[in-house]
Amino acid sequence: MDIFVQQLVNGLVLGSIYALVALGYTMVYGILELINFAHGEVTMIGAMVALAVIVPLLGAGLPVALVLLLAILAAVAACMALGYTIERIAYRPLRRAPRLAPLITAIGVSIVLQNAAMLIWGRGYISFPPILPEGAHQILGAVVTDLQMVIVGLSVLIMIGLTFLVERTRLGRAMRATAQSREVAELMGVNVNTVISATFIIGSALAAIAGIMVSAYYGLAHYYMGFMLGLKAFSAAVLGGIGNLAGAMLGGLLLGVIEALGAGYIGDLTGGFLGSNYQDVFAFMVLIMVLVFRPSGLLGERVAQRA
């Protein structure tokens, strides 16, 4: 029972990070029907930039809170610029091309970013300095750390904010209109290119935060970390129903929980044959099952209607 609650907590933490990244995939898909496979790499760049700010500034003796704030700002700003640039050079020129073409440039961008990160920051693991509070609390038999609470709390706040942005503001309305029909939105005076850029910028800002969360949670960053994170978040977006914001949030949380519970019990289930290092299997099993049994995802009906 304790393991169950503990893995549930771990799963929710992991899941809220997946949800933030999945939102980036789903927003872009909703508007362009494009899978931005470079999105995982944007989270990696976010983590790397944050660490590139944290390490030297800590060395210079600045207070921890200030260092963290600056790191977050730098990572978010860098990823926003990166997201905008990716759309501008890799996707916009191919807007009228067959759908496979931007998929290939997406993979290309992803390889370029990984290699650029490897050249800049090296091949090794970069450790996240132990600057975060390490308090832990007992809740229902599970240990919950301060960091875990911050990750879940911040993710929830961001998701509420994003929902509000999309449902209640002028920009959000333009995004929804563009998602339903780019042509009509344009003929009603919406500058579709601006809306698309804004979508990439917002998604990339979320990715930056998620990247920092992951590196803080696992205590390290690596030029390759975006690949698996991106694939899992994409699976989460598909699970929830790609193109649907609430679906990405739900899919992310569910996937995190499934993965954590799977990792917790896989040893018992297979009689010790498989260990928790097989936890990645679960995300992709879920992806395959969704694609086979419910391709539109859990909340995907509206998307199916729209398409």
Partner 1 sequence: MALLSVENVAKRFGGLSALEAVSLSVNAGEVYGLIGPNGAGKTTLFNCMTGLYTVSDGAIRLDGVPIQNRKPHVIVGRGFARTFQNIRQFANMTALENVMVGRHVRTRTGVLGAVLRDRRSRAEEQVIRDRSRELMEFVGLKNRGRTLAGHLAYGDQRRLEIARALATDPKLLALDEPVAGMNPNERREMGELFLKLRASGITLLLIEHDVKLVMGVCDRVAVLDYGKKIAEGVPDEVRRDPAVIEAYLGGAPS
Task: Decide if residue 92 touches partner 1 (CB under 8 A).
Answer: no
The pair of three-digit structure tokens given for residue 39, joined into one six-digit string: 């999105």
137 by DSSP, 3-state: which? strand
DSSP 8-state code for residue 272: T
Q: Does 154 participate in binding partner 1 (rule CB under 8 A)?
A: no
φ, ψ (nearest 5 deg) of residue 118: -65, -40
Candidates 9-17, 146-154, 165-173, 259-267; binding stretch for partner 1 (CB under 8 A): 165-173
Angle, helix 146-168 to helix 170-180, in steps of 10 degrees: 70
Q: Among residues 132, 143, 149, 171, which is the contact residue for partner 1, using CB under 8 A?
A: 171
23 binds partner 1 (CB under 8 A): no
- The percent of the chain in helix, strand and coil, each rounded to the nearest 5, is 75, 5, 20
C-beta of 196 vs 225, nearer to partner 1? 196
Task: Provide the 8-state DSSP code for 191.
Answer: -
Position 165 contacts partner 1 (CB under 8 A): yes
Residues 192-231 as x/- pattern, contact with partner 1 by CB under 8 A: x-----x--xx-----------------------------
Question: What single string gives the DSSP state of each residue in 45-104?
Answer: HHHHHHHHHHHHHHHTT--HHHHHHHHHHHHHHHHHHHHHHHIIIIIGGGTTS-THHHHH
Residue 150 interacts with partner 1 (CB under 8 A): yes or no: no
Q: Which region among 59-67, 142-150, 173-181, 231-239 touches partner 1 (by CB under 8 A)?
A: 173-181
Query: Which of residues 124, 133, 135, 161 is near partner 1 by CB under 8 A?
Result: 161
Whether the Cβ atoms of residue 12 and residue 144 lie closer than 8 Å to each other: no
Does residue 85 bind partner 1 (CB under 8 A)? Answer: no
Task: Specify the residue, 189 or 271, whose C-beta has the smaller distance to partner 1.
Answer: 189
Binding site for partner 1 (CB under 8 A): 161, 165, 168-174, 176-177, 180-181, 183-192, 198, 201-202, 302, 305-306
